[in-house]
Amino acid sequence: MRKFNITVNGKTYEVEVEEVGGVAAPVRMAPISAPKASVPAAPTPAAAQPKTQAPVTGGESVTAPMPGKVFKVIKGEGTQVKNGEVVMILEAMKMENEITAPVDGTVQQITAKEGAAVNPGDVLFIIG
Is the pLDDT assigned to residue 41 strictly greater than 60? no
> What's the whole-number mean pLDDT along residues 55-83?
87
pLDDT tens-digit series, residues 106-120? 999 999 999 999 999
Backbone angles phi, psi at 85, to 5 degrees: -75, 140
pLDDT tens-digit series, residues 80-103? 999 999 999 999 888 999 999 999
Q: What is the pTM for the complete model shown?
A: 0.55
Domains observed in the chain: 2-31 (no CATH), 56-127 (2.40.50.100)
Which whole-number Å values give the CA distances from 104 to 45, 55, 86, in the listed order? 37, 19, 12
Q: Which residue has the higher pLDDT, 118 or 28?
A: 118
| Confidence category of residue 48, pLDDT binned at 50, 70, 90 | very low
| Confidence category of residue 29, pLDDT binned at 50, 70, 90 | low
